[in-house]
Structure 1
Amino acid sequence: MNRIVSVALPLAVFLGLAASAAIVAGRVLPARQAATMAQEPVDLPDVRLTDQHGHDAALVSELAGDDLLVVTFNYTSCQSICGVGNAIMQELDRTVAPQVERPVRLVSITINPTVDTPDILAGAAREWAPSERWLWTTGRPGDIDKVLRQANARTADIELHELVFIVGDGRRKDFRRMPVNDGTVSGIIAALDGYGR
């Protein structure tokens, strides 16, 4: 299955569900309002991760550091929601820098660390042409589980795992779970911009 088809089908389903939810709610939220709505605090653990280039770094103290951070979860053989999450991260990778005053690090963390080695992640990442700001990462299974628990990300059924985005400020150690809807990209950018200089 090519990348366009593998992204288009879950994206269509996702957008359909988002539109249905907006209709039921009676309105579509503006991006700024979506950015401040239902952001659960997340205590991200400072676990060590290895990126697609084979470099190791601690999630909070090194990858976030003093910068802004966006985290999501995927795995390389995914045929469901990962394409949507990757498309959102790709759009952020292409558009976030000119819209936010501070540097931003994008981190995709595999939920299948026993399979997704750095080499496998590198092959999968190439399809999405990430810049140096977007890292595809793996780690020890126990450490990945710890991040998933802290993010309250449901992954019991790997094929039906939840689409989750964590947005935060490494300097303040303030990380929050973002709502996912049809304004996710603009909502994430607004949330990042809200952290200021």
Structure 2
Amino acid sequence: MRHSIAAGLALLLFAAVPGKAHEMKAYDMHMHHQASPQPTRPPAAAVPDMPVVDQDGKRLNFYSDLVRGRTVAIDFVYTSCTTICPMLTAHFRMVQQELEARVGKDIALISVSIDPVTDTPAKLKAFAAPFEPGPGWTFVTGARPDIARLLDKLGQPFGNPADHAPVVLVRNDKVGGWTNVDGNDPVAIREALIGAAGPGTKIDTPKADATRPDTIKPDTIKPGTTKTSTTKVDPTDAALAYMRNPLLRTQDDKPVHFFDDLLRGKVVLINFILTTCKDTCPMVTANLSKVQELLGDKVGRSINMISLSVDPQRDQPAELKKFADNFDVRPGWYFLTGERPEIDPLLRRLAAYTTDPLDHSTVLVIGNIETGNWTKIFGMAEPASIARAVLALQSSTQ
């Protein structure tokens, strides 16, 4: 499956793969999470006004305080989820950034916990923090009976949190009705919100943030419809605007600018490691060593492989070098670390930031910078499958 850069932020999180690299038993749970979620039902016509509590511990009424008179997008998350929920939340962050002039005014984002017993306001706040929610984006939990009734009225299952679907509900309260949107697609969420809310007081042109080459012109959109303009953003410029250009260091202690030195003009394969990992990281890296063999001399020329540390305080260049030397790493495969102010924002943009390095993604992100096409694949997929995915994106340039 190919994506424009729109899905690049969260591709590494959206997959039927384990979120916790060191709890491989979680693989079955998250396979189930994606493979057989409970079906959703149509939401009730009236929005319930149940008592809830936000991430700051403030008591609210769901309809009166969060929905009344606004256009809202509602998703469903829980804080111990390590795959689909961070992806959904990353997508809301993208929407917040693109529609920042309206979020908190006529548009609101609401993330409802489906695990209220576990998800205290403090846990919701900690979960939300890496995604930098601003005014108009509220995370809510509450008493179990209240959340159960709220979810029932919103057509969502309540029981096993892992059984929920990546659905986003969009509603213009002044008009009524609901639109179900695929939570895997941040562009669809944005367009549904703009279509439901109608034109703002000024043109809400999306930022060049690696979201997609298309830009939206809300002043030409009637409520209930969507439209994309023909204006194009250069994929390379969009990727740079999104990824930025942090200064990092390789396993050879060479300083590199992430975008200019490693991504520009390339097809890239990115994974996430820590050198103190004793199981999954060596397994994935050994698998990628076989991919390196299959790609041959393209690695270091048109293709770069990047292993990005999620534990940069421990993973200094010397440690990365020692780790990499176990896997016949050749030119074109870079193991990267850096200072926290440089590397942490990058990990957040890749939806790979974690406060617990053992709780990191095992998904590979593959992208063609020049075309803006991105895909993902499980890190322990067959080496031939991974190589084919890389070469397929490379062929899109030719």
TM-score normalised over the length of structure 1: 0.71
Which residue number corresponds to residue 176 of structure 1?
Answer: 178
Does the CA-based 8 Å contact 1:169-1:195 persist in structure 2? no
TM-superposition CA deviations, 1:152-186 (whole Å, max 9, x none): 223543223211212112344x2414131644233
Closer, same or farther: CA 80–156 of 1 in aligned 2, 3 Å = farther
* RMSD of aligned residue pairs (Cα, Å): 2.8
Amino acid at match of 2:92: M
- Give the secondary structure class of the aligned counterpart of 1:145: helix
Deviation, structure 1 residue 82: 0.7
Deviation, structure 1 residue 96: 2.1
If you compute each CA radius of gyration, which structure gives the higher value, 1 or 2?
A: 2
Distance 1:159 1:177 in 2: 23
- Give the secondary structure class of the aligned counterpart of 1:127: helix
Task: Give me the identity figure in percent.
Answer: 25
Which residue number corresponds to residue 187 of structure 1?
Answer: 191
Question: For structure 2, which runs of at least 5 residues remain unmatched after alignment?
Answer: 1-9, 17-41, 199-222, 226-398
Which residue number corresponds to residue 138 of structure 1?
Answer: 141
- Give the secondary structure class of the aligned counterpart of 1:11: coil
Distance 1:131 1:56 in 2: 18
Deviation, structure 1 residue 42: 3.6
Point out which structure has higher relative CO (alpha carbons under 8 A, 6+ apart).
Answer: 1
Which residue of 80, 83, 94 maps to 1:77?
80
Amino acid at match of 2:178: R
- Give the secondary structure class of the aligned counterpart of 2:132: coil
Closer, same or farther: CA 65–179 of 1 in aligned 2, 3 Å = closer
- Give the secondary structure class of the aligned counterpart of 2:131: coil
Counterparts of residues 1-197 of structure 1 (less than 5 Å): 7-11=10-14, 40=42, 42-43=44-45, 44-98=47-101, 103-172=106-175, 174-180=176-182, 182=185, 183-189=187-193, 190-193=195-198, 194=223
Distance 1:61 1:114 in 2: 24
Does the CA-based 8 Å contact 1:97-1:104 persist in structure 2? no
Closer, same or farther: CA 186–164 of 1 in aligned 2, 3 Å = same
Distance 2:44 2:95 in 1: 21
- Give the secondary structure class of the aligned counterpart of 2:12: helix
Does the CA-based 8 Å contact 1:166-1:175 persist in structure 2? no
Question: For structure 1, which runs of at least 5 residues remain unmatched after alignment?
Answer: 1-6, 14-39
- Give the secondary structure class of the aligned counterpart of 2:157: coil
- Give the secondary structure class of the aligned counterpart of 2:14: helix
Deviation, structure 1 residue 195: 6.6
Distance 2:101 2:80 in 1: 32
Distance 1:177 1:56 in 2: 27
Once the two structures are overlaid, the 10-residue window that deviates more, 142-151 or 132-141, is: 142-151
Distance 2:83 2:158 in 1: 13
TM-score normalised over the length of structure 2: 0.37
Distance 2:224 2:143 in 1: 31
Distance 1:135 1:99 in 2: 15
